[in-house]
Amino acid sequence: MLLQLPNILSADEVAQAQALLATAPWADGRKGTGELARQVKNNEQLDHDCETARTIRAMVLRGLDRSPTFFSAALPKKVFPPRLNRYGGDSNFYGNHIDGSVRYLPDGSGRLRTDVSCTIFLSDPEDYDGGELCIADTYGEQSVKLPAGHAVLYPGTSLHQVKPVTRGYRLACFFWIESLVRSDEQRRMLYELDMNLLALRQQHGDNAHTTALTGVYHNMLRMWADT
């Protein structure tokens, strides 16, 4: 499931993040990556523990907590601490790749399975050319370039790339989610059921039918969830 999430960050939060990133200590994004990634990756990233990264990471996690759609779609069990990257100048692309299936958490507390990938755009689309996030799925390649503060969720199993940035800089936050429900197909069904239940309750209020369907939702989640 590929899903866009508008306004994960407010306009004020985006402005604050952009101001911080304008003077951030960017470094070669290939540092610490594997051999295959180094062959196709050419961008910049912030050190995970620098002050700017910590400040924006906390802001992003608060934004995710405010989004019921994020919770419904991702069903997060663990969230990898968000990271920041930049594309532009001589470091302007990331070729086709699939994210590693398991990542070690930076604090040494364990590992995370990358069921769902997420990118939050931090640059306004008119501030740079190129830089589309291209995601291959069963319907072909989807090209995503969203307003600053908006996010896109997509399966961690997807082949994807960031097209070369030919003008300006593309700033973004990226991270992964280990879901309570490993299967993308099952997550999609639960998400669609949840969204339609919400629409029915808004139109008709709570009744015996919505109560029964809510029970179906929770029984499906109970059957599929890995806690």
Name the 3-class secondary structure at 155.
Answer: strand
Percent of the chain clearing pLDDT 90 (strictly above): 93
Confidence of residue 36 (pLDDT cuts 50, 70, 90): confident
Model confidence at 32: pLDDT above 80 = no
Residue 175, beta-bridge partner list: 118
- Mean confidence (pLDDT) of the chain: 96
| Dihedral Cα 204, 210, 214, 216, nearest 10 deg | -140
How many C-alpha atoms does 16 have within 13 Å on its Cβ side? 13
**Domain parsing of the chain, residue ranges:** 3-179, 184-224
3-state secondary structure of 131: coil
Rounded-to-integer distance, Cα 54 and Cα 146, Å: 23
Q: What is the dihedral of CA 105, 111, 113, 116, to 10 degrees?
A: -20
For 127, the token pair is: 């501030």
List pLDDT tens digits, range 96-140: 999 999 999 999 999 999 999 999 999 999 999 999 999 998 788
What are 174-216's pLDDT values in tens digits? 999 999 999 999 999 999 999 999 999 999 999 999 999 999 9
Residue 31 has pLDDT above 90, yes or no: no
- Fold entry, domain 3-179: Jelly Rolls (2.60.120)
Question: What DSSP element (H or E) covers 114?
Answer: none
What was the pLDDT predicted at 70? 98
Nearest to 1 by CA among 122, 128, 146, 118: 118
Does residue 34 register a pLDDT over 80? no
Stretch 66-87: mean pLDDT, rounded? 98
**pLDDT value at residue 135:** 97
Q: In a 10 Å sphere around its CB, with 0-12 CB exposed, 13-18 middle and 19+ buried, how is residue 22 labelled?
A: exposed
How far is the C-alpha of 30 from the C-alpha of 37, rounded, in Å? 8
DSSP letters, 58-92, are HHHHHHHHT-HHHHHHH-EEEEPPPEEEEEBTTB-
Place of tokens 């039918």: 209
Confidence label for 10 from pLDDT (cuts 50, 70 and 90): very high
Domain 184-224, CATH class in plain words: few secondary structures
Q: Structure pTM? A: 0.96
